[in-house]
Amino acid sequence: MAIPTSDAPTSLWRPLRSPTFRNLLIADVVSDVGTFMQSVGAAWLMVSLNAGPMYVALTQTASALPFFILALPAGAIGDIVDRRKVILRTETWMVGVAGVLAAMTIAGKISPVLLLVLTFALSAGDAFETPTWRAVLPELVSKEDLPAASALNGIEFHFARAVGPALAGFVIALAGIGTAFLLNTLSFFGVILVVARWKPAAVRRTTPPETVAVQPLIVQVPRNIDHCNAPLALR
């Protein structure tokens, strides 16, 4: 006879009962769709500029390289400073960069080198924000709902990855690459609005707050690496 336990599986949809998590998830879907639209638009634009195969390949490099460079320091900073402020500032940075890219494209002033620089700058904001975005989940849902919340985040991302490029092709064919970039710029405002309205619970510190300086970062980065390498039971 089976013995009933209290370890009943959590419903996948239970984290959506948290209004902040639900609103952030919806805003993130829109933002990620815009990001994938921008990626397709950047590659399409580079081909349209007749820049050559090397520049087309560098477009993808400019999108991926910031994650390789910034992931560890961004994770360390996310552990030191206010995560809400990190998200707001990186989102604001990405709105500015995406707006410049859209304006320059619509005005016909974009060049292959400028496209690479702006693509790198936009991806740098995303790379800097991503570790902090993942780290705020425990502040939005209960510990029991964390696995379901993480799964919903994964579903959201893959949904955006499927829809974004298809929508980009439709928009570019109908209204041009500049319009796709403009829609990406607008897609960030939902996240900014939700995060700006979010008031996280105050955390009572038992140690003096750390500051963003060279020494704390040098210490924190190896700690993050050790945490990833530690056995799951010790985390």
- In this predicted model, what pLDDT tens digit does every residue of 73-122 receive, in sequence order? 888 887 788 889 999 999 999 999 999 999 999 999 999 999 999 999 99
Domain spanning 17-198: CATH superfamily: MFS general substrate transporter like domains (1.20.1250.20)
HSE-CB for 224 with a 13 A CA cutoff: 19
Q: The pTM is what? A: 0.81
| Of 9, 33, 26, residue with least CA distance to 152 | 26
Residue 157 and residue 33: Cα distance in Å, rounded? Answer: 9
Q: State CA 207 to chain mean position distance.
A: 30
pLDDT at residue 34 greater than cutoff 90? yes
Place of tokens 């060049």: 111
Per-domain residue ranges for the chain?
17-198
* pLDDT value, residue 75: 82
Would you mind telling me the total number of residues written for the chain in this entry? 235
Q: What is the DSSP letter of 117?
A: H
